[in-house]
C-alpha cells in the first residue's frame, strides 16, 4: 500500500485561514512592450503582487514540464500535471516520440488490430489536429504512422485533418496541408490509395471538451463518418474558399468540409474500417472517442454507427477508460498533492469554469477523474459561455470569484485552488483589445480575492500554468502577425501571507518550475514534502 503520510514541519505555527492558490491561466511574464498584453493591461493588483518579496519567475514549458525539449511550449494539461504532482513526468509528445523511435507503438495490440482491419480490406482512418504545435498533436506522428501502414501493406487510408490556427499561426493550414499532400503523394507512388477525406477547424469540428458544445462533435461525426458537409474537390480548395469568403477567418474556426470525387465522398467511415485518433492530449479527444465507443450514446443522433476498431494515440481518461484501445501508455502519475492532503485530512475546494474545470480536477489529480475523498473535497464548475471568447473576454471570472470568496468565508476549506481561464482562452483569439480586457478582468478578480484572504488570516499564492496573453503578436519585416499560441515565457509565482504566524524566505533554487509549487503548498500548510517531490520555492525561517 502506498504510504501517503506527511510529516509535520518543526517550528511551524498553524494559522486560521486557508491557503488559496490562484492559477492565472495563460498569464506569463513577457517582454513588457506593446506586444505584451499582460504588461499593457491595467493590473494594479498583479503589479503590486509582483513587487512582493516572496516573488519568483517559474519555467512552465519544455523539459521543466516533461516535454521533449525547451523549444516546446507548455500547455494547461502538462502544467496542471506538474503543479499537482510535485515532480516532472514524461508527457504526451515525449512518450509518443519514444514509442515511435523504439518501435513499441507499432508492436502493440492496438496498432496490430488497426492494421489487421486494413489488411482485411477495410480503410484505415486517421483523425486529428494537423500541425506541429506539439500541444495536442504533432504532424510527424501522423507521418510516421502513415509510412508504417504503407510498409505493412495497408492499401487504403483516409486522413481527416483538423485545422489548428491556435497553437501555430492562425492562418497556417495550407502549409500543413501542403506537407500532408506531399507525403500522401510520396506514399501513393508505391501503389496505395491514401487521401484526405474530411476535416475542419478545431473549434467547430470534432475537438470539443468538457461537454461544452456537443454540436462541435456532431459536426465532425457528420463529416468524418457520414460524409455530410460542404463539399470540395480537396482540402486545399476548402481552405482557400473559406479564406476568400471571409478574409478575417482563421483556421481554428473554419467550417467542416468533405472531399468528393465524382460527386461522392472519398472516405466516409464504414463497417470493417479502423480509426486512429492521433492527438496525444486528452481533453479534446474524449468526446469524439465516446461517440465511437458508447453503445448507449445519447449526446446527439449519430444516424449510423459503423462497426470499426477505434483507438486513440493515448488513453485520454484513465478512470473512465476512454478509449478502450490506445497506442501509447500515458504517464502514470501517482501520489499527487491531493492524495497526500486527503490522507492528512485536509479539506479542499477546487473551482473553474467549464473550459478549465478539468485542469483543476482531472489534470491536477494526475489524469484521474472524480473525487479522491468526497468527504474532504468539493469541486465546482461554472458553465462557460458558448461564444467565441473575444466576444466575452471577462468570461466567468466574476462568478468564479463570487464562489471563491464564499468558500474562503465559509471556513470549511484549508486549501482552495482556482483557475481563471481568461488569459489563455482569449489569448488564443489574437484579439488585442479583448486580451487586455481579459487580463484586466482577472486583475479585478484578484482585487476582490485579496481582502477576503486577508480577512480570513490566510495565505494567497498566485501563479500560472503557461504564457499566452503575454505575447499578442509578432513582427516580421515590419508587419504584425497575431500570436495565438502559448509562449515560452516564464510565469509568475507570488506568496502573500496575511496570517503573520510564520516567517518565510525564498529558497535558493536554480531555475524553479511548476513542479516546485506542490512542495511549497505543503510547506505553507505545515507539512514536509515527500522525499521525491521537487524542492519548495520557500523556506521557513
Q: And the C-alpha cell for 152?
A: 505493412
Q: And the C-alpha cell for 126?
A: 486517421
Same domain? 352 vs 319:
no
Same domain? 129 vs 263:
yes
Same domain? 241 vs 340:
no
pLDDT in tens, 229-277: 999 999 999 999 999 999 999 999 999 999 999 999 999 999 999 999 9
Spatial CA neighbour of 357 closest among 345, 339, 369: 369
- The length of the chain is 541
Q: What is the pLDDT of residue 329?
A: 81
Domain stop point among 328, 358, 373:
328
Residue 8 three-state SS = strand
**Residue 519 confidence class, pLDDT cut points 50, 70, 90:** very high
Same domain? 100 vs 26:
no
- Residue 11 inside a domain? The answer is no
Domain stop point among 328, 358, 376:
328
- Residue 133 inside a domain? The answer is yes
Same domain? 235 vs 350:
no
Q: Kindly report which listed range (13-22, 323-332, 412-421, 499-508) carries the lowest average pLDDT score.
A: 323-332
- Residue 503 inside a domain? The answer is yes
Spatial CA neighbour of 415 closest among 454, 366, 453: 453
pLDDT in tens, 143-179: 999 999 999 999 999 999 999 999 999 999 999 999 9
Catalytic residue of the set 35, 76, 289, 348: 76
Same domain? 361 vs 455:
yes
Same domain? 263 vs 293:
yes
> Is 234 designated active site?
no
Give the C-alpha separation, 409 to 452, whole Å.
7
Same domain? 320 vs 361:
no
pTM of the prediction?
0.79
pLDDT in tens, 444-455: 999 999 999 999
Same domain? 302 vs 402:
no
Same domain? 31 vs 175:
no
- Residue 3 inside a domain? The answer is no
Q: What is the pLDDT of residue 92?
A: 83
Give the C-alpha separation, 356 to 89, whole Å.
21
- Residue 295 inside a domain? The answer is yes
Give the C-alpha separation, 347 to 342, whole Å.
7
Same domain? 231 vs 372:
no
Peptide bond into 323 cis (omega under 30): yes
Give the C-alpha separation, 465 to 91, whole Å.
15
* Cell 499582460, residue located: 38
Rounded CA Rg of the chain: 24
Query: Under 8 Å CB-to-CB from 402, ≥6 apart: which residues?
Result: none
Domain stop point among 265, 297, 328:
328
- Is pLDDT at 516 greater than 60 in this prediction? yes
Domain that holds residue 147: 93-328
Q: Are 525 and 414 in contact (CB under 8 A)?
A: yes
The domain that contains 462 carries what CATH number?
Answer: 3.40.720.10
Q: What is the pLDDT of residue 210?
A: 77
- Residue 8 inside a domain? The answer is no
The domain that contains 228 carries what CATH number?
Answer: 3.40.1450.10
Residue 115 three-state SS = helix
Q: What is the pLDDT of residue 369?
A: 87
Same domain? 285 vs 401:
no
**Residue 509 confidence class, pLDDT cut points 50, 70, 90:** confident
- Residue 1 inside a domain? The answer is no
- Residue 7 inside a domain? The answer is no
Peptide bond into 146 cis (omega under 30): no
**Residue 1 confidence class, pLDDT cut points 50, 70, 90:** low
Number of domains observed in the structure of the chain: 2
Q: Are 209 and 283 in contact (CB under 8 A)?
A: yes
- How many whole angstroms from its chain centre is CA 231? 31
Q: Are 26 and 467 in contact (CB under 8 A)?
A: yes
Give the C-alpha separation, 159 to 493, whole Å.
43
Amino acid at each position: 500500500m502506498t504510504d501517503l503520510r506527511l510529516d509535520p514541519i518543526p517550528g511551524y505555527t498553524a494559522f486560521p485561514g486557508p491557503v488559496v492558490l490562484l492559477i492565472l491561466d495563460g498569464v506569463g511574464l513577457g517582454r513588457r512592450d506593446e506586444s505584451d498584453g499582460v504588461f499593457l493591461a491595467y493590473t494594479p493588483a498583479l503589479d503590486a503582487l509582483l513587487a512582493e518579496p516572496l516573488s519568483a519567475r517559474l519555467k512552465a514549458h519544455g523539459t521543466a514540464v516533461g516535454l521533449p525539449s525547451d523549444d516546446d511550449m507548455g500547455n494547461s494539461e502538462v502544467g496542471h500535471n506538474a503543479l499537482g504532482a510535485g515532480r516532472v513526468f514524461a508527457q504526451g509528445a515525449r512518450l509518443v516520440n519514444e514509442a515511435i523511435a523504439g518501435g513499441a507503438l507499432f508492436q502493440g495490440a492496438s496498432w496490430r488490430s488497426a492494421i489487421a482491419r486494413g489488411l482485411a480490406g477495410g480503410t484505415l482512418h486517421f483523425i486529428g489536429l494537423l500541425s506541429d504545435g506539439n500541444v495536442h498533436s504533432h504532424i510527424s506522428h501522423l507521418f510516421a504512422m502513415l509510412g508504417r501502414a504503407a510498409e505493412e501493406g495497408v492499401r487504403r487510408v483516409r486522413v481527416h485533418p483538423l485545422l489548428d490556427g491556435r497553437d501555430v499561426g492562425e492562418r497556417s493550414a495550407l502549409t500543413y496541408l501542403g506537407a500532408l499532400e506531399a507525403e500522401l503523394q510520396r506514399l501513393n507512388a508505391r501503389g496505395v490509395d491514401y487521401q484526405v477525406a474530411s476535416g475542419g477547424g478545431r473549434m467547430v469540428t470534432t475537438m470539443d471538451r468538457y461537454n461544452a458544445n456537443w454540436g462541435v462533435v456532431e459536426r465532425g461525426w457528420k463529416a468524418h463518418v457520414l460524409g455530410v458537409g460542404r463539399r470540395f474537390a480537396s482540402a486545399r480548395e476548402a481552405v482557400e474558399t473559406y479564406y476568400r469568403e471571409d478574409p478575417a477567418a482563421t483556421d481554428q474556426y473554419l467550417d467542416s468540409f468533405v472531399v468528393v470525387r465524382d460527386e461522392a465522398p472519398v472516405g466516409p467511415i464504414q463497417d470493417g474500417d479502423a480509426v486512429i485518433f492521433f492527438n496525444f492530449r486528452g481533453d479534446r479527444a474524449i468526446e469524439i472517442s465516446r461517440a465511437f465507443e458508447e453503445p448507449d450514446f445519447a449526446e446527439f443522433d449519430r444516424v449510423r454507427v459503423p462497426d470499426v476498431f477505434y483507438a486513440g494515440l493515448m488513453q485520454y481518461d484513465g478512470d473512465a477508460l476512454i478509449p478502450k484501445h490506445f497506442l501509447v501508455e500515458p504517464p502514470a502519475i501517482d501520489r499527487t498533492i491531493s492524495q497526500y492532503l486527503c490522507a492528512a485530512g485536509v479539506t479542499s475546494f477546487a473551482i473553474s469554469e467549464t473550459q478549465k474545470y478539468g485542469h483543476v480536477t482531472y489534470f491536477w489529480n494526475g489524469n484521474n477523474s472524480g473525487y479522491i475523498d468526497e468527504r474532504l473535497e468539493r469541486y465546482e464548475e461554472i458553465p462557460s459561455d458558448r461564444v467565441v471568447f473575444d466576444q466575452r473576454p471577462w468570461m466567468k471570472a466574476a462568478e468564479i470569484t463570487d464562489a471563491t470568496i464564499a468558500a474562503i468565508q465559509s471556513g470549511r476549506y484549508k486549501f482552495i485552488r482556482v483557475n481563471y481561464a481568461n488569459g489563455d482562452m482569449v489569448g488564443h483569439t489574437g484579439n488585442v483589445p479583448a486580451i487586455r480586457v481579459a487580463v484586466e478582468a482577472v486583475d479585478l478578480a484578484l482585487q476582490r480575492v485579496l481582502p477576503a484572504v486577508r480577512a480570513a488570516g490566510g495565505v494567497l499564492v498566485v501563479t500560472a500554468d503557461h504564457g499566452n496573453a503575454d505575447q499578442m503578436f509578432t513582427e516580421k519585416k515590419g508587419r504584425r502577425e497575431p500570436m495565438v499560441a502559448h509562449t515560452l515565457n516564464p510565469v509568475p509565482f507570488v506568496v502573500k501571507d496575511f496570517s503573520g504566524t510564520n516567517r518565510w524566505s525564498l529558497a535558493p533554487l536554480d531555475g524553479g518550475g511548476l513542479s516546485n509549487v506542490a512542495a511549497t503548498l505543503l510547506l505553507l500548510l505545515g507539512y514536509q514534502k515527500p522525499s521525491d517531490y521537487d524542492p519548495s520555492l520557500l523556506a521557513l525561517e
